[in-house]
Structure 1
Amino acid sequence: MIKKIALVCIGILLCLVVWQWELVSYGWMQAKGQLRILWNTKPVTEVLNSEAYPDSVKKKVELIQEIKRFAIDSLGLDKSGSYESFYDQEGKPILWVVTAAQPYQLVAKQWHFPIIGTFSYKGFFEKDRADSTKAELQREGLDTRIGEVSAWSTLGFLNDPILSSFLDRPEGSLAELIIHELTHGTLFVKNNLEYNENLADFVGEYGALRFLAQKHGKDSVPYRDYLATKVFYEHYDEHILRGTRMLDSLYRTFKPTLSTTVKDSLKWETIREIVVSSDTINDQRSAKGVRSVNKRPIGKLNLPNNAYFIGYLTYRKQQNHFRQEFDSKFGGDFKRYLTYLKQTYPSF
C-alpha cells in the first residue's frame, strides 16, 4: 500500500514537472544562482579582520553596517540578517533583468510566480537565459529591455549579502540602496510591484537624507551632493513620466486600421522628442561622485522603447503620493507612517 502511495506521489510530481517545466527550470536556475552566491560569501567580521582586503573596502563595509543600524533603530525597519556577509563579484555582473511591453500600449508583460505573486520583470543569474528570453519576447512582437541589476532583495527569505559592486557607490547612493532593499524585507505587498518599488524608492531616498544629515549635517558636502543628485533625478523622472503620458495619449489615438508603418513613425518621432528634450534639465550636481544619466545617440536603434518607460511607471509614478501622505497625515513622523503602512497593506 505504501509503495502504491509513493508511486502515485512520484507520478503526480512528474506530471507537475512536465506541465510546469519552464517554471521548474527557471526556479532551479535561480536557486543555483542564489546558492552559489551564499556558498561563496564571507562573514563581514572575516573581511574586516583580513589583511587581504584594503582599507577602502573595509570602510565601505563598516559604512553599510552603520546604515543598516540606522535603518532599524531610527527608521523602524525590521531587523534583518542581511548585509552581514560579503560576496566578491570579481568585477562581473551578477544578475540580469528582462522587461517587456506591448509595442503600441504602455502595458507590461507580466510573469506569475508561486507565493511571491506577479512581477513585470524577470531576473536571471545566467546571461544566456536572459538573452534567449528577450529574443523570444521580441519574436512575439514586444518591446524589450535587458539590464544589469546592482542589488535585489530576497524579501527576508534569505540573508542577502553585501555585493562588491555596492562599494563603488558614493555614501548617499549607498545609503539609499541599503535602505531601499531593507524596506522590501519589511513590507512587500503581493501582486503590487508598482506600490512596492515606489515605496522602497521613497523610503530609500528619505532615509538616505536623514542618515547623511545625522552623520554629517545638512551643510556638509555629502548631504548637499546627494540632495542635488536627488533633485536632478526628480526632474529627470518628471520629464520621463510626462513622456509616458505623451506616449499613452498617442497610442490611444491609434485605430485598428492604422498601418504599422505609420504607428512606428509616430511612436519613434515622439520618443526621439522625449530624449532630445531631456538635455534641457538643469543639473546642479557637483562633478565629484556624480552618476550621470546615460546620453543615448539619437538613432532609432538606440532610442528607449516602451519597456524603458514602463520601468519608470513601476518605480517612480507614486512618489508624490507617498510624500504628500507622509507630510500631510503624519507630519514627518516616519515610524508612525511605517506602522500605518504595515497595518494598511499586510505583507506576506
Structure 2
Amino acid sequence: MWKKIALGVLLILVVFGIWQRELVSYGWMQARGQLRILWNTKPVDEVLADRTYPDSLKRKIELIREIKRFAIDSLGLDKSGSYESFYDQYGNPILWVITAAEPYQLVARQWHFPIIGTFSYKGFFEKDRADSTVAELKREGLDTRIGEVSAWSTLGFLNDPILSSFLDRPVGSLAELIIHELTHGTLFVKNSLEYNENLADFVGEYGALRFLAQKYGINSTPYRDYLATKAFYERYDQHILRGTQMLDSLYRTFNITTVVAVKDSLKWQTIRQIVVSSDTITDERSKGAIRSIKKRRWDKLNLPNNAYFIGYLTYRKQQNRFRQEFEHKFGGDFKRYLTFLKQTYPSL
C-alpha cells in the first residue's frame, strides 16, 4: 500500500519535473544560492565579539539592530528574525535582477512562481544564467535591463542576513533599506507587485525620516541630507514618470502600418529628450551626500530603454496614493494605517 503511494508520488514529481523543468531548474538554482548565503553567515553577536572586525563595521551593525527595533516598536512592523546574522560578500555582487518590456509598449514581461505569485522581474544568484536569460529575451525582441541587487526579502519565510554591502550606505539610506525589506515581511499581497513595492518604498522613506528625527534630530546633518536626497529623487521620479506618459502617448500612435525604422527613431528621440532634460533637476544635497549616492545619469549614447521605465512604474507610480491616504484618512497615525492595510489586503 505505502509502496504504491510512494511510487505514485515519485511518478508525479518526475512528470512535474519534466513538464516544468525550467521552473524546477530555476528554483533549484535560487535555493542553492540562498542556502549558500545562509550557510556562510555568522551570528551578529559573534561578529560584534570578534576583534578582527573593525569598529566601523560593528557600529553599522549596531545601527541596523537599532533601526530594526525602531521599525517593530515604533512603526508596528512584524517581529522578525532577519538581520541577526552577517554575510560578508568580500566586495562581490551576489544577486542580479532582470526586467524586460515590449519594445513599443510599456508592458512588462511577467514571470509566474508558485505560492508567491506573479513578478515583473526575475532574480538570479548565477550571473551567467542571468546573462543567458537576457540574451533569450533580446532574441524575442524585448527591451531588457540587468542590475545588481544589494538587498532582497524572503518575505518572512527565512531569516535574511545583514549583507556587507549594506554597510557602505549612509544612515538614511540604510534605515530606508531595512524598513523597506521588513515591510515586505509584514505585508505582501500575491500578484500585486506594483502595490507591494510602492508600499514598501513609502514605508521605508517615512520610517527612515522618523528614525533619523528620533535619533539625531530634525536639524542634524543625517536628517537634512536624507530629506534633501529624498526631495531630489522625488523630483527625478516625477520627471521619469512624466517621461513614461510621453512614451505611452507616443506608442499609442503606432499601428500595424508604422514601419520599425520610424518607431525606433521616434522612440529613441523621445527617450533622449527625457534623459537630456533630467540634467535640469535641482539638487540641494550636500557634497558628501551626493558622493555617497550615485546620481542617475546616462551616457547619451547608452540610453535607458522601456525596461528602465517599467521599473519606475513598478516602484514609484503609487507613492502619492499612499501618502494621501495616510495623511487624509488616518491623520498621520501610522500604526492605525498599517492595521487598516493588513486587515484590507490579505498577505502571504
**TM bracket, shorter-chain basis:** over 0.9
How big is the shift at 1:7?
2.4
**One-letter amino acid matched to 2:317:** K
How big is the shift at 1:326?
0.5
TM-score, with length taken from structure 2: 0.98
How big is the shift at 1:297?
1.4
**One-letter amino acid matched to 1:287:** K
SS of the equivalent of 1:144 reads strand
**One-letter amino acid matched to 2:265:** S
Match of residue 52 from structure 2: 52
Matched, 1:305 2:305: yes
Query: C-alpha distance in 2, partners of 1:115/1:3?
Result: 29
Match of residue 257 from structure 2: 257
Match of residue 237 from structure 2: 237
Query: C-alpha distance in 2, partners of 1:255/1:242?
Result: 23
Match of residue 68 from structure 2: 68
TM-score, with length taken from structure 1: 0.98
Alignment of 1:28-177 (within 5 A): 28-177=28-177
SS of the equivalent of 1:99 reads strand
Query: C-alpha distance in 1, partners of 2:69/2:282?
Result: 35
How many residues align? The count is 346
How big is the shift at 1:5?
3.2
Match of residue 20 from structure 1: 20
Query: C-alpha distance in 2, partners of 1:5/1:177?
Result: 47
Whether contact under 8 Å (2:99, 2:108) holds in the other structure is: yes
Query: C-alpha distance in 2, partners of 1:341/1:12?
Result: 39
Match of residue 205 from structure 2: 205
Identity of aligned residues (%): 81
Whether contact under 8 Å (2:102, 2:109) holds in the other structure is: yes
Match of residue 186 from structure 1: 186
Whether contact under 8 Å (2:29, 2:125) holds in the other structure is: yes
Q: Which runs of 5+ in 1 are unaligned?
A: none
SS of the equivalent of 1:289 reads helix
SS of the equivalent of 1:24 reads helix
Could you report, residue by residue, the CA deviation over 1:248-283 in whole angstroms, capped at 9, with x for unpaired residues?
A: 000000011100000000000000000000000000
How big is the shift at 1:333?
0.4
Query: C-alpha distance in 2, partners of 1:292/1:20?
Result: 40
Match of residue 294 from structure 2: 292
SS of the equivalent of 1:123 reads strand
Could you report, residue by residue, the CA deviation over 1:56-90 in whole angstroms, capped at 9, with x for unpaired residues?
A: 00000000000000000000000000000000000
Query: C-alpha distance in 2, partners of 1:285/1:4?
Result: 69
How big is the shift at 1:3?
3.1
Moved over 4 A (4+): none
Match of residue 221 from structure 2: 221
How big is the shift at 1:346?
1.3
Whether contact under 8 Å (2:229, 2:289) holds in the other structure is: no
**One-letter amino acid matched to 2:219:** D
